[in-house]
Structure 1
């Protein structure tokens, strides 16, 4: 009898462990009907949500985001702005440092008010916790089951302060982002009920069917594929708008995305670009003297989608839209909202490339930006600068690599003493500069230095494998490192740990170069507290060059040769060892220069001691 019980509990343990280790993700399918009152900047909404619980957990509580409730005096977003004062985002404060939210009048605030909420036809209890709606389901949502919610709500479109709202600085009427009550993500880390403070967010993958009724003179740009182009103005020259009570219905469908956004204005023009083996790209903007570069950007956009496919993976959706709206640049499912009045073609292209690259690293690889913003913002910045250098090579100015500005910005900020670790939740950084450095710049350097560690060819394989493995899922940095280690054959946990959980700095130096008989002894020194493998570039007086690769012992492997230069692999440098010596089979008079990391891919805080002679 004891033996039977032992086998029974052992089996239970195996099943339990397999459930714990099995990846899952939820699904939320939306069917919406929206009626917009453009005169009063309000709308009414009705949505049916089919929610599938693919987790092994019973959900006895449920949550929605109500983002626009943040745009009210004394909200948490308002309080954070008042705390930051003049160091806050300049778009969100007055010149004197006063939160613009604190000055909003009743007809300028944003809100999302729930009129009714039912589960399977049964009214449910709920409480509004500012930007979070906490729901007590009529019945628990069991593992591997599906349930339906039906909701009616009203919203007021706020004066635009951050991302969403009405009448932006370029005169676009409506920027409808984070605009609907949205299901909160649930995964093995639990419910992601992050309050909306102004920065990042994420969502549940699903399908959207959205019908928007709006005054007949408006043109809409949105996520998804327009289902009735013949019934609306702007998308077909021979369209005959279907008008009912002075309103036109716009119907959009989008599949397997985790957010839906749209914008509307009577002065929009709609242009399009067909990408070979790619999406139909829409340009939706006010075609005037201020937006003259939009048309010129077309050939660069074509090259961009082709190169992103080659370097990272194919864009999988049928359409993508660049929409003039918002307060800067912001990515959403199958579209981006960007300011259109660019100072130059290069600045417009750079903004377009950055926001579109989010499609790969936030909307296809849907990492949780609220917890790990660098995993999206940093990877996106890496892709943006890589694409700019390939498509607009003059922007790189013959630098050793197209990311050198980010390297220099980071090393300066590291010395300021204001740096914070990358792993902090996005809204919890002490300063905007601390956040932007961690998320954008250091996140970009995470990839740049990884390329330096493993080599360009191996790095390319890592990025493509990461995309193919985790597209349409929610990867974490652990998932990325797992792939990087598998492809490279290196142990990279040390690098992951130092980059994400510390603010330690890299500082390697050439301590001495001495003649030893017919040879040259080179002594290197680690003056920092962040260990790294080292590439030493030696240029001889006859013009020839060699690379001496010194791997870190924790890697337990060597970098494969990544260039045409002869690479000589030296013994490991132990991370506990401060100095390292090696010999060159020539005398010092035959050496022109010796340089640590001539490609400038390592964020060394003092490059002056990286080169001999000084």
Structure 2
């Protein structure tokens, strides 16, 4: 029997004109399949991808009081930060991020913005004014007022080091700045007919991350690179003119002070309703006798939020305000809210915003991880789309599918990076790419596919993937060419996850691994290697070849079926890997009787060479063969994916 099988194989090879050594060349593809980065484990980060037994993470709690001066567009405030040093080393100082200093003429961000401008162009007449800095270690430590501000970073020194393994320190100061109109498409001011909308984010000094990988993460705030923040509890108060509405991250803890009795009743109604309920209707905007509990002076809105990495808020007297209940898998409830001016009103526009918000959060909560916050607020703004915990800013001009898309995307960011706290400043793909991936499935699910997803057509990205100016996913966002950022940070990594789920691993194995990653790193700080390790360990697959080729390289996929012929009662096919990234070969055979059959050849066929001969055992007449019949992989040359050639 063995002699007969070997003879058949040799006959097949000779018949195909490949020679006896075609399947095993003199070389191999170790460079494609071997290790490409150090992913060994340690006490802090396990080789299995989960936090190690001695994993630590520092934290920061904030108490903030701020006041808006809407005549001069100034924000003034006082902040007290309680810093928790859980690291194994004492700290003589801490670093703070001072993002408002980006809005000056001589900031690094301004000076590295192209003359023609880009999305991250911003005002240059702002920047922090800081006073009364006090830094103190522990409860009885000696106070220090020493600090250095360098561009968008502030280094605050202590007279006594913050003790390791649980030491605490407090830093307090007063701050003020002019609110930019154009805040790099992340915050700003929008003038509407009935009042200015202030979208306030990155509005207070924020503690930088000190971690086990880099120590202090102190990259300057330039533009494309976003944020990396510690978790903690927030208590913040915002004082505004009496005719303003304020919406913010977290729970509004003094509704009786700032809402009328009727509005409080409407809030209760909204919490019981799956349909949108007006808290302030379009007809009521501007009528303070109906919408405001007092008719002059100022009101202070008080919010709290626990275990979050940031907070933001928006305020205006022009807001239409509506809300509806969010149903969570555990049985808990949250509230979806939208605020928008009359310019954005309409069934084709922001009237559906709360519907979109509710649907998006309910989907992600059911599919991946439950939404952790009491509210989810969508703010119509001059910001095209930006996310913060519990609140997002989206373009007031967006309508229909574009409003769904930006709303779904920005709220998807609650999972990446608000829950899974990756380093956006360095690894944009770990939040933008992961988010774009989950947006694909949310969009397919919403209202029976009312809107389309770009990821549904991977072949539409081949043009960029084969362009000579392309850059790898691993390119830092502030370094990436502006015209590449959308693909580098968003679509190429999202497409990578799509291929993992629908082509390489299958839905069940991928979903198990992706959920395990979210659970393991919720409210923690994962690195790329942690993601790679946990996916491999949970799915049971060595994916070095994929991480290296797709995420850290700029090669392309090009699978080919070169020949196919009958052989006795069976069929012989010759495949080749003509691209720089190996892939499993999923192929579909169509028989003469009209029936179809799918088969998969594992990626290991490419370990020893770039050609492979495969014997298909069948008694049927083969009419055609096609690689990747569902068009999931962005193959650089689809003309060689079918046999016979058409």
Instruction: Tell me the TM-score range normalised by the shorter chain.
Output: 0.7 to 0.9
d(CA) in 2 for partners of 1:528, 1:613: 21
46, 71, 79: which one aligns with 2:78: 46
d(CA) in 2 for partners of 1:224, 1:235: 21
496, 519, 522: which one aligns with 2:547: 496
Name the structure 2 match of 1:272: 323
- The alpha carbon displacement at 1:18 in A equals 4.2
Q: Is the 8 A contact 1:69 1:131 kept in 2?
A: yes
Cα deviation 1:376-419 (Å, max 9, x = unaligned)? 1011111111111111444576xxx96233x2343211221111
Q: Secondary structure at the match of 2:488?
A: helix
107, 110, 130: which one aligns with 1:78: 110
Name the structure 2 match of 1:441: 491
455, 474, 478: which one aligns with 1:403: 455
159, 172, 184: which one aligns with 1:138: 159
385, 392, 416: which one aligns with 2:467: 416
Q: Secondary structure at the match of 1:457?
A: helix
Name the structure 1 match of 2:143: 122
TM-score by length of 2: 0.81
d(CA) in 1 for partners of 2:356, 2:184: 29
- The alpha carbon displacement at 1:503 in A equals 0.8
Q: Would you say 1:89 and 2:115 are equivalent positions?
A: no
d(CA) in 2 for partners of 1:129, 1:91: 20
- The alpha carbon displacement at 1:61 in A equals 2.6
Cα deviation 1:570-596 (Å, max 9, x = unaligned)? xxx0333111111223478x3343111
1:446/1:192 CA distance change after superposition, 3 Å: same
Q: Would you say 1:30 and 2:51 are equivalent positions?
A: no
Q: Is the 8 A contact 2:344 2:350 kept in 1?
A: no
Name the structure 2 match of 1:314: 370
Name the structure 1 match of 2:634: 603
Instruction: Note the aligned Cα RMSD (angstroms).
Output: 2.4
Q: Secondary structure at the match of 2:363?
A: helix
Q: Is the 8 A contact 1:446 1:499 kept in 2?
A: yes
1:464/1:508 CA distance change after superposition, 3 Å: same
250, 253, 269: which one aligns with 1:224: 250
Name the structure 2 match of 1:560: none
Name the structure 2 match of 1:175: 199
d(CA) in 2 for partners of 1:152, 1:591: 77
Q: Is the 8 A contact 2:401 2:451 kept in 1?
A: no
Q: Is the 8 A contact 1:219 1:233 kept in 2?
A: no
- The alpha carbon displacement at 1:458 in A equals 0.9
Q: Would you say 1:201 and 2:213 are equivalent positions?
A: no
In the TM superposition, 1:340-489 aligns within 5 A as: 340-343=396-399, 345-394=400-449, 403-405=455-457, 407-429=458-480, 431-451=481-501, 452-489=503-540
Q: Secondary structure at the match of 2:204?
A: coil
Cα deviation 1:250-305 (Å, max 9, x = unaligned)? 00001111011111111112211101234211112224454543333444444333
Q: Secondary structure at the match of 1:363?
A: helix
d(CA) in 1 for partners of 2:382, 2:544: 39
- Further displaced range: 500-509 or 534-543: 534-543
Q: Is the 8 A contact 1:126 1:136 kept in 2?
A: yes
Q: Is the 8 A contact 1:230 1:236 kept in 2?
A: no
Q: Is the 8 A contact 1:206 1:258 kept in 2?
A: yes
- Further displaced range: 365-374 or 154-163: 154-163
1:270/1:513 CA distance change after superposition, 3 Å: same
- The alpha carbon displacement at 1:475 in A equals 1.6
Q: Secondary structure at the match of 1:281?
A: strand
- Further displaced range: 507-516 or 543-552: 543-552
d(CA) in 1 for partners of 2:61, 2:564: 66
Q: Secondary structure at the match of 2:497?
A: helix
Name the structure 1 match of 2:173: 151
Q: Is the 8 A contact 1:27 1:206 kept in 2?
A: yes
d(CA) in 1 for partners of 2:617, 2:627: 18
Q: Secondary structure at the match of 1:464?
A: helix
Q: Is the 8 A contact 1:291 1:341 kept in 2?
A: no
d(CA) in 2 for partners of 1:235, 1:500: 54
1:206/1:291 CA distance change after superposition, 3 Å: farther
d(CA) in 2 for partners of 1:330, 1:273: 22
Cα deviation 1:499-535 (Å, max 9, x = unaligned)? 2221111111111112222322111111111111221
Name the structure 2 match of 1:95: none
1:28/1:303 CA distance change after superposition, 3 Å: same
**Aligned pair count?**
556
Q: Would you say 1:535 and 2:586 are equivalent positions?
A: yes
Q: Is the 8 A contact 1:275 1:281 kept in 2?
A: yes
- The alpha carbon displacement at 1:436 in A equals 1.7
- The alpha carbon displacement at 1:126 in A equals 1.1
Cα deviation 1:534-566 (Å, max 9, x = unaligned)? 21122223332222111122xxxxxxxxxxxxx
d(CA) in 2 for partners of 1:498, 1:235: 60
d(CA) in 2 for partners of 1:392, 1:243: 41
Name the structure 2 match of 1:12: none
Q: Would you say 1:574 and 2:606 are equivalent positions?
A: yes
Q: Secondary structure at the match of 2:180?
A: coil
Taking CA–CA contacts closer than 8 Å with sequence separation of 6 or more, which of the two structures ends up with the larger relative contact order?
A: 2
Q: Would you say 1:66 and 2:98 are equivalent positions?
A: yes
